[in-house]
Amino acid sequence: MSDILKRFLIYLSAERGLANNTVDAYGTDLKLFFVFITANKKTMMDFNRQDIIDYIYTLRQRGYSYRSICRFIASVRSLCKYMLIEKERADDPAENIHRPKGWQHLPKTLSVESVIEVLKATVESRYVLRDIAMLELMYSSGLRVSELVLVEVANLQLEAGFIKVKGKGSRERLVPVNNRARQRIEAYRKGVRQLTLKKRTSPYLFLSNRGLPLTRQRFWQTIKAYGKAAGVELSPHTLRHCFATHLVEGGADLRSVQRMLGHSDITTTQIYTKVSTELIRKEYNECHPRA
């Protein structure tokens, strides 16, 4: 990794206050871009606009999603602005490079029945109570995986039916928790969590077998296993999409959904109205005799 890239990632974390998972994602994107330009005999100091465009094309050829490519564009634009500020470069090769339009993919979602099958799925594990509590909470409250694994016990307000969550940019929000998630969390806290901690203490709710906060990677593996048991393709973000889509389908106000998801801009939330419209269209095409 180049020295400028290392300093940029430190800047994102220390100065901009971005969440660790966002900084990690930017780092992964830019390391791969660095490998790409190095193969073309370029450096961070002399790559140009065409190099960025060529790399975007390469990502599309490799089957990267719209979301992943947009994240790369955000990463490289931030890097270029940083290099201008630090006077590492006199130009901005990412200037006027915007998110590609016309090929946005709607987020994957599941029916209510499929989500219920996931929540009822059986996987052989000592930590079933923990796993089910995490799945129920994610679907109940629409948490990001980075928020879920770092939920603190002190932020649970289960009797009131809420949980306090620290999201992107360290912004805090209160999110409702339904009764099923609350019951699952209480069962986990009184059982597996106490056995895991023994005589130790931890501020975090969901713990690994070593008493440390569960990692995003470990939860990713867990949710894949439950999806497989239920016969569906599942990721942490799929459950978050299901939370939002099912609320919108049920008539929830978009501003309320925005606040629950922790979106800073309502245009990000509006994609769920498109998802809902697509589901209506699918139902119509499948059920209307002359569709």
Which residues are catalytic, by number?
144, 168, 237, 240, 263, 272
- C-alpha span between 193 and 145 (Å, rounded): 19
* Structure token pair of residue 164: 């306090």
Pair of tokens at residue 52: 């960025």
Query: What pairing do the DSSP bridges indicate for beta strands 162-166 and 172-176?
Result: antiparallel
The 10 Å Cβ neighbour count of residue 18 is 20
Give the Cβ contact number of residue 78 at 10 Å. Answer: 18
Helix (H, G, I), strand (E, B) or coil at 182: helix
Distance CA 108, CA 77 (A): 27
How many whole angstroms separate alpha carbon 257 and alpha carbon 210? 36
The three-state (H, E, C) secondary structure of 93-160, written as one string: CCCCCCCCCCCCCCCCCCCHHHHHHHHHCCCCCCCHHHHHHHHHHHHHHCCCHHHHCCCEHHHEECCC
The 10 Å CB-count burial string (b at 16+, else e) for 118-149 is bbebeeeeebebbbbbbbbbbbbbbbbbbbbb
